[in-house]
A and B are shown apart, each in its own frame.
Chain A
Amino acid sequence: MKVLVAVKRVVDYNVKVRPKSDGSDVDLANVKMSINPFCEIAVEEAVRLAEKGVATEVIAVSVGPKQCQEQLRTALALGADRAILVETEETLEPLSIAKCLKAVCDAESPDLVLMGKQAIDGDNNQTGQMLSALLGCAQATFASELSLNDGKAVVIREVDGGLQTLELSLPAVVTSDLRLNEPRYASLPNIMKAKRKPLDVKTPDDLGVSIAPRVTLLGVEMPAERQAGIKVEDVAMLVDKLKNEAKVIS
């Protein structure tokens, strides 16, 4: 079966971002960019399905500027067979991305779409659910375990109280949680091989998708700064401070 995996180019997770001086947006000039950690987990899961012989083809897709090709090459180096970039310089929001991915799915008819549960920049946690709605198919979000058999997907999901198991009819959209797997590193030979794998570039216009944003970013600001407090000598002093100064315990 065919597996489509969506990847996003985001600020590296170790970078602490700051607003631009005019407060209009986050300052991303000269900041290290990477594949979104949750997307990396989705790619790993797709590659594992291919290694098990369950998936016959893994297609990596990204929606965004030209530089997203780097992240698609990473996905190819990790084991995806080919890649598609829906290229646009426009500001993208989850609904627009989901519409672009829907158009790609219509053309490719994958049996399974894997994606991360959220991107660590916008922290929206929406795109997978939206894509699933647009496709009218089943969804399993926050997956920590996935198994496929007889045209069904059995997914264990991380929910607030613990774990939940669902069985989905295929095609379906599954979004990965951190505990789904441990992504591998791309080896140098695989990085070299990835350069020769096919990467198609399309535009939202080619796909007939309108990506006009509905939500306008008016500005960004730093959250209220927390002052570092004091160091206490020992446990007795800590308890005394909590009781008499902060008054949070009695």
Chain B
Amino acid sequence: VQPPEKPLQAEEWNKLREDFQLPEIFEEVMLNSMIRCNSPIDVAKSLLTHLAKRDGDIAYNVLVKYLTLCVQQGQVSEICDVYDIMKVRFKILESGAYNLLIKGLSNSDQWRMALTLLEEVKKIMIPSRTCYESCIKAASCHQEMKLAFELYKEMLAKDVVPTLDVLQSFFNFSRGMEGAELQKELFGILLYLRENQIYPHKTFMRSIKLWFESIPGGNWRGHLTSIKDSGQCPVCKHQLEDSNLTEEEYSNLSERIIRDVIHGTDTFRKTSPKEFEAFQTFVENRLPFDIVIDGLNVSHIKSRKMQCENLFDAVNCLAKENARLLVLGRKHMLMNSSNWKREIMKEMQNKADFFFAENISEDDAFLLYATLRSGKHCRFVTRDFLRDHKACLSDSLTRHLFRKWQRGHQIAFSSVFSQQPAFRYDCVVQTTGDTWHIPYKDVFEEKYSYEVPRKWLCIQQK
């Protein structure tokens, strides 16, 4: 339906309604299209007036739609009027209306009323993150940083995840402001990014940079750079944190992987206790390995070649410098077949240790175990992202540890057998007190979860 351009008289609305195929939902459809076309508010008003005259009442959903239109156009006085009508007519409102009201009011000089509304929402439910966002932005926009931070903390305490937008607004609105307290809070946000392995995007990064440089008497200078493979920052020559886990983290992670990934709810699902025990003794007798290879995964790198040749190439490529290799495979690889030639398998077994699991067992679990058991220096080779195993870990903290460990220890092979090295440094927001290093995404959204940004913001205090 095309909404009319000018307010209509009752008769005209009636006529339109009669021409519409489903008269019962005419008002709803009409208002929806008004919202879509961003029609002048007077047109909607004339429809409401027509409705009110006809029925003596206006349904809640129609009011909410009208409210949407008002919020869309920032008609503050109308928003207030609708709220007055709603709160008299209904005992409580539902989340949609509250979201709209808060969003609409927080952008105006009535923003304090949005805060009162937020309190009202809290009585009946956990406010949505858009509610918090609007209020926080309104507060920080009016330089009430203390209030904004209170709301932000409340939000985190309720497990409502803030968007990058909100975090960015803190930096934008604190620019040039003084105060040790404020500085501490903003550092807190950067640490929040660190803990949750969140990377800011380019514009957010710019806000951070500008804020640092605007701190009165802070003498902070920011530079955009990219970090070398060695992990040294080219600007300040500072060495970034290395990707190794601490002893405690490491033992914690291996424990959890054995518990959640290998055993899970039932050891029989991925392997069997007998097989796992056999594997454990096998590994213990030959420790430590330098590189653990997922044989089946590597054998599929080039589809035109025979699978065992692919594996053979990989083993040869990695076997330099006396590295101790472990190749994990399945029993069917030992059967002489067109893809797995016995002679080549024999030759490979001279260069590396092999463990063959049952055909129905999952070899990835063994891969993780053997690598972790060998120690921090040990790396593993597979193109698999291991997402399914990460998902088996029950809490996000351990999942983060897993990601960090994976980044530091996984070698991915591409088809030309050039290695993609594991990262030596940890790709995360980090500080030494007088320097900050912040990785950022170049484009606003485009990044896969397994990729890490290569661009960094280096901030140092002179």
The answer on A and B forming one complex is no
Q: Which B residues fall within an 8 A CB radius of A?
A: none
Q: Which A residues fall within an 8 A CB radius of B?
A: none
